[in-house]
Structure 1
Amino acid sequence: MTESASSTSGQEFDVFSVMDWKDGVGTLPGSDLKFRVNEFGALEVITDESEMENVKKATATTTWMVPTAQEVFSEKTGMPFRLKEPVKVEGLQFCENCCQYGNVDECLSGGNYCSQNCARHIKDKDQKEERDVGEDNEEEDPKCSRKKKPKLSLKADSKEEEERDEETENKQDGRILRGSQRARRKRRGDSAVLKQGLPPKGKKAWCWASYLEEEKAVAVPAKLFKEYQSFPYNKNGFKVGMKLEGVDPEHQSVYCVLTVAEVCGYRIKLHFDGYSDCYDFWVNADALDIHPVGWCEKTGHKLHPPKGYKEEEFNWQAYLKTCKAQAAPKSLFENQNITVIPSGFRVGMKLEAVDKKNPAFICVATVTDMVDNRFLVHFDNWDESYDYWCEASSPHIHPVGWCKEHRRTLITPPGYPNVKHFSWDKYLEETNSLPAPARAFKVKPPHGFQKKMKLEVIDKRNPMFIRVATVADMDDHRIKVHFDGWNSCYDYWIDADSPDIHPVGWCSKTGHPLQPPLSPLELMEASEHGGCSTPGCKGIGHFKKARHLGPHSAATCPYSEINLNKDRIFPDRLSGEMPAASPSFPRSKRADANEISSSPETRDQHADDVKEGFEERTESEMRTSHEATGAREEPSVQQAQRRSAVFLSFKSPIPCLPLRWEQQSKLLPTVAGIPASKVSKWSTDEVSEFIQSLPGCEEHGKVFKDEQIDGEAFLLMTQTDIVKIMSIKLGPALKIFNSILMFKAAEKNSHNEL
């Protein structure tokens, strides 16, 4: 074969381009042979399945193999697609055409080619591609289209990008694509790691590889992530409108009728049928808490029907027919084929468990449900909003007696008599229950995360976003995440096994937009154009349905100072929607009457606690009954809320309450005799003036005026709203909330007199 023939053959046939590349594995059409590219840029045959799995895993989880940003965006790259830069070997030089090493002395000047043939091959290929690009640009100039492209969400950008790729492929008219082009088409996940949507005009595309290099940082090794945190094996098959059953994340003992409201990458947004969309929430498509239609009936779990339906009358088939909806196919649920590992836990067993909403508390708890390898932890005599699912290896649970052994304070059930002398033996006998055996508790191995490692994290304050994040700190079983470019005040702790953290490249592999780090310029632009004064917030994801707050108020921004440590500003879905003329108990939490002791001593004690809760008290006086056991923590908002939530939510009648209004009137003279119907007509100024007239609340009137709270909105507020949303201390908050209760009581009394 002559040199010219060899050169021509080299131009027409490129072994990289004829292969189908996926996850780092090349397949030769018409053959079962599989190949990979080694560290020298040469092809190697894959001989066994384990080797192929290793290649796929490495391709999916490491960043050094991703093409550079220059290679992705350059249309002149003639080199075959290689997984990394060639290794530098002393005395040898790598040829960019044939991907082989040769003696440095024999290489051409410039050191990039081993012979004239290789140099001419690259030159001819570049000229041919320039002509092809020129022809394509006559039909559609990508630069022009990019300039004219309006600002869209990252999700839309990604979709349009794929459409452009398909159009470009169609224009090839059978022309053999370059190896690097074909590889990138087959491996869109890899190039998406580099291109997180089209960048705005004048801005560079963000890529993980360049970012890690610039920051001199490392990604969290993929092996440290659990299977459900890592790259999924299947695509997200859920479609908008599909119906299913699932756990309410705010009430984890409750199973509800849900609808897929949105699909993004490997995540789905779920809607509670019959309720406001402000309660919608996001989960991964392989979440353990979602189940196919009919699962509750099959497993004996209670299904809460959509709002407006009676439990005994609800029927899935009729409901689907009425809604003209489709049930999500069972094949989409990854948790249907879980291998159940034998466990020593049983429903009804007692244990000591950490309150996740207040990790300083370790409380008396009970196993109340079991599904597959998880069980539901319920805190005795607390309402179900504190329940959570966990596995036997959870660091949040301990066997009976653990607190005593480790000299920690055990929080006893509220209302339990003689808390100072609590005895597990006596309590187990009284409740006719067994302790969970110590052998049932498994030790969770260290997570392995290190400070300054990079990862991708779902933003808990705005769960529609996944952001570039850094491990800022860590302890035995948790990590503190910092969103790159954001103020450290937004850092928070999260369990290392949380499904909300993912390895670098997860978004690109699953087709989900990734929010890159904020730059100082973006911080300023966001505040100027986003309609929100909070730095970094673009006005997306503001709380909705906050009827008593302004549309652009800081109180509706998930990143504003007053909302940093809370989940939402609207009432609890199940019990918080309190009408203006409703009874005077806050209903943000509920307690199961069956789990509350019915002894006379307990009822009297709870009645006393409720009476104390209505009295005018200072913060230092608002201690929980648990602190008498020796806990030294200062009272927090969460403690106060928990106290009022439980002590005010008992279903047992408390006849002594009406007798307290006379004393309340003496403490709050400006409130006496004013009915709620009159208050509902107040303007924001009148509400502000009233707040200022309350003793000790003079400085808080301005807050109500700034948030544009009128009389109607004022009557809808709960104690939680006042303490958490308005950031008012507990003492003044009690006075303000009690005044609301008195307005409603006066309204009720006026109706009774008529």
Structure 2
Amino acid sequence: ETQSSEPMEEEEEDDDLELFGGYDSFRSYNSSAGSESSSYLEESSEAEHEDREAGELPTSPLHLLSPGTPRSLDGSGSEPAVCEMCGIVGTREAFFSKTKRFCSVSCSRSYSSNSKKASILARLQGKPPTKKAKVLHKAAWSAKIGAFLHSQGTGQLADGTPTGQDALVLGFDWGKFLKDHSYKAAPVSCFKHVPLYDQWEDVMKGMKVEVLNSDAVLPSRVYWIASVIQAAGYRVLLRYEGFENDASHDFWCNLGTVDVHPIGWCAINSKILVPPRTIHAKFTDWKGYLMKRLVGSRTLPVDFHIKMVESMKYPFRQGMRLEVVDKSQVSRTRMAVVDTVIGGRLRLLYEDGDSDDDFWCHMWSPLIHPVGWSRRVGHGIKLSERRSDMAHHPAFRKIYCDAVPYLFKKVRAVYTEGGWFEEGMKLEAIDPLNLGNICVATICKVLLDGYLMICVDGGPSTDGSDWFCYHASSHAIFPANFCQKNDIELTPPKGYEAHTFSWEVYLEKTKAKAAPLRLFNMDCPNHGFKVGMKLEAVDLMEPRLICVATVKRVVHRLLSIHFDGWDSEYDQWVDCESPDIYPVGWCELTGYQLQPPVATEPTTPLKAKEATKKKKKQFGKKRKRIPPAKTRPLRQASKKALLEEDLQAAEKVPSEPTPDEIITVRVKEEHLDVAMADKAPSPELPVPVENIKQEMDD
């Protein structure tokens, strides 16, 4: 009787969710409306839902915070709190009501309203009253797995960036690109900030999975077993069982998608295994053939997709306030509000800026800090004057609270006794405004908690506006002679030649001393990156763009990233643990748009438009690209009308700039498909948040 009643309760709960606008993604996951069979996924979802109702599981992904994170706030001693309605993480003192159960009045009212609706519905259905009514909008994450992995939302962000399935329409065919050129992709295990990085070594050649059979003429969805021929990041090359050595029907897919399952999934969910039509008559005893092929083989863990979804839950939410570097003056920070979260990447809106005055970075980026950080360490911050025209923006209407310190990546503790960095010391550092250069630099100011203000020697600014904050443990600063020892071209100060520059002579001439070697963090993990590996990398000069890229050089833990199709002057140095590099297939997995390589010659007559990207004022003019003039796409007018003076100035740009006009900072342009440009919504009407970032909907 107990076993027979469980399916009935599950069906009734599904009805509850449907009645109040919920979404039963498990039916989509099964891809069969008539299927009434239960599975390990349903059981896990139900158990997780009950545990959360009993208060045994948190509603927020606290376990995703960076390792070693304390459970109390730094300095303040306040306790962390989790909103029982939306799952947001905050401090108890900032939460609403005496019980501190909710982050805002709206969450408290929503919780109460949903509980009443659930209680009324339960009485109408004849269910006995429970001690605690179910909150209908808090369906367990594992119950949303199908819809979550199948679609990360559709449309565009307010800045015009396509997301979800709209981004996939513009998607770059990684599989064909890798296979045609015999490229190798960096394994997922190299990237510590991406989903399931610590379990991806289990994905290997020869592993068996159950996938959708695309070579079938049956009216319903059927499946077949396939073998992994090659792994490239999140993408794998599969071959249906029965084709043996015939590679003509091999196909690529992303292991994070919902149509790839471990062996046994079809049996549990009453799905049919049907061989592809092409080889249907090849064997008469397919069951015996499969048994022989499956003996001793490996497959995905049964909870693979559940863990994938859990690892794609991020603690940052729309409306959280934080401090971020001011892109117009990197020596100071500004107050900003989280507008969008996609795959752990944050779109931030400056509080005192326009609706398109945004900044993209990863949640573990060293460029963002909790509110109060600048004042605490002695860093400059721009006084915020809230703009009246931003009052109606969704992100500002939904301000929850300040992002608490333990949501940010924890920096290494430093000990200043026995000698520390001093003002005036010289070192080598990656130029924050031209990330392809390692320059001679000076420590201009020593802040608290191990932070340093550093400037590039010979820089154009004399007022300190180009100072940049690095932590003492940063892997972007190096001791003197680091470049010489590792055969890297050092960018010397103005008036010096790179091939004749000598640190000894320079220190003597400037009457300065080099920072001691022992103060630098020179540890090097076994990161696994090799020259020639392909990946997806953020263009840090235009951080909303993620591009197809190659590891051009490996120097200990330092990687030189080359953007495919672009000249080497756009290369950037990054650390091997940088949160701005991603494995192949990450954009497809999260629904983020990937910028394809710039083709030197058009292979097919494509009718494409190029949307002019909003340029950052401090980055100056854009350098010319390497493709010949005949292959450069025509520019499309920006959505925001340009001033006449800007248009006239743009027309008068000389083909060969004079030395005084050359600006070393470079930015790239974003390429959008014409079909997507036509479907782009008005920038004044942002796409609803729930369609953009489903990983934030609890």
Higher relative strand content: 2
Larger radius of gyration: 1
Higher normalized contact order (CA 8 Å, seq sep 6+, divided by chain length)? 2
TM-score of the superposed pair, with normalisation by structure 1: 0.40
Higher relative helix content: 1
